[in-house]
Amino acid sequence: MGQKTRGIYPDTNGLWQVDKWKRGTRFRQRGLASYDEAERWLIAQLAAQREVLVHGQRTAATFNQAAAHYISLHEQKASLETEIYMLKSVMPHIGHLDLRQVHDGSLAPFKAQRLVEGRAHKTINLALGVVRRILNLAATSWRDDAGKTWLEQAPMITLLPLVGHQREPTPITWAEQRALLPKLPTHLANMALFTLNTGVRDDVVCSLKWEWEIKVPELGISVFEVPRQHVKGRKKSRVVICNSVAQSVVEAVRGQHEEFVFVYRRERVKNLSEAPAMPYRRIQTMNNTAWQTARKAVGLGDLHVHDLRHTVGMRLREAGVPESTIADILWHSTKTMTQHYSVGQIVELHQALEKVKDDAGRWNKSLAMLKREQAGEFAGATPPKVPQLKVA
């Protein structure tokens, strides 16, 4: 029998593994079916290393490695948890592939599977967008030890069309709000109520920190200056304005955690006189099992957390708030948006948000709301109010 290649060993269950150092690089792979397969794998890796050292070829990297590198570089990104969730759906299809093998063709099975599962085009595109971002960084910013980018050129990733496939926003009525909030656990109900009175995105609510708080004694409220890295688009920092209801939520949770405003802990169901078994911890997402259970219980099974933000926009319009003020509250991009809010602007935004803190009995509703009420699609639905016309 010929001499065995060093670095190849028997693995568990009759399989083989490779664990070898060569020129400062560790080559490791487990679960290979035979010694010959392990040897072929090692020879290919050593050949690739030689090409890099002798001829200046790029270091081979899989999409798994690229995704892990991306996550490690963006640990402070506000939307990282969402991006990791999106990557999990696409990894079984492309994670094992060399970066050069990731393109529209290798992504086609992922698109097909998600469409069969009934996923919306926008949801699929969000995952494709993260893939595209990683490939672009691999081709422009990330470099190996030889100074070469991980990928020579990023491929064009084709997104699915949104026209005709995009879900319409679904603002909720006051009756639906009154039905939903009691079904949510306290910590999540606080976050939902805060969102319904500020219009802020759910990822910002989850990230909100006490160190961002600025008290405004003249109004008896606080504002939160959110750093640009937590703002979608990251062009500038933005301010969350609290109306009186949002401020009451803030005061209710004050002191629970020294860093984050909205936190959660598992409370005792037995031995209630003893201290809680778990400390408070940050809430990663509002769209969790508790949210999905509550919306289903009140007949709002397709309600998104982002619909609470749409609700604020609709209620502000119903109250006659100017579009420019609504844009400032919802952080829409406008040419007139100032980087640093003035006291006068804070007063204006606060007064606008005070108009949506409770049900004013306005009849102006979207057609979708009227249809839901008429069909009684949610628990505790009430007939739509019809305005009474005065007869001369």
Residues facing residue 22 across a β-bridge: 25
For 282-296, how does the pLDDT look when each residue is reduced to its tens digit (9 = 90+)?
998 898 899 999 999
Residue of 296, 291, 126, 89 whose CA lies nearest to 206: 291
Write the burial class of residue 235 (CB in 10 Å: 0-12 exposed, 13-18 middle, 19+ buried).
Answer: exposed
Regarding beta strands 25-32 and 16-22, do their DSSP bridges make them parallel or antiparallel, or are they unpaired? antiparallel
Q: Rounded to an integer, what distance in angstroms lies between the CA atom of residue 171 and that of residue 109?
A: 34
The secondary element (H helix, E strand) that includes residue 264 is strand 263-264
Phi, psi of 98 (to 5 degrees): -60, 145
Give the rounded distance of the alpha carbon of 325 from its chain centre: 26
Cβ atoms of residues 308 and 286 within 8 Å: no
156: tokens are 């064009």
Give the rounded distance of the alpha carbon of 319 from its chain centre: 30
299: tokens are 């007949």
176: tokens are 């639906």
Cβ atoms of residues 93 and 124 within 8 Å: no
Q: Rounded to an integer, what distance in angstroms lies between the CA atom of residue 305 and that of residue 231?
A: 17
**Predicted TM-score of the model (pTM):** 0.63
Q: What is the pLDDT along the chain (392 residues), one digit of tens a residue?
A: 456 788 898 988 888 898 888 776 778 888 888 898 888 888 887 877 676 665 556 777 899 999 999 999 888 776 787 889 889 999 999 999 999 899 999 999 999 999 999 888 888 999 999 999 999 999 998 988 777 888 888 999 999 998 766 677 889 999 999 999 999 999 999 999 999 999 999 989 999 999 999 999 888 999 999 987 777 765 677 889 999 999 999 999 999 999 999 999 887 777 767 777 688 999 988 988 999 999 999 998 889 999 999 999 999 998 999 998 898 888 876 544 444 556 668 888 999 999 988 887 665 566 666 666 666 655 555 544 444 444 44
Neighbours of 1 (CB within 10 A): 3
For 232-252, how does the pLDDT look when each residue is reduced to its tens digit (9 = 90+)?
765 677 889 999 999 999 999
Phi, psi of 19 (to 5 degrees): -150, 95
260: tokens are 């984050």
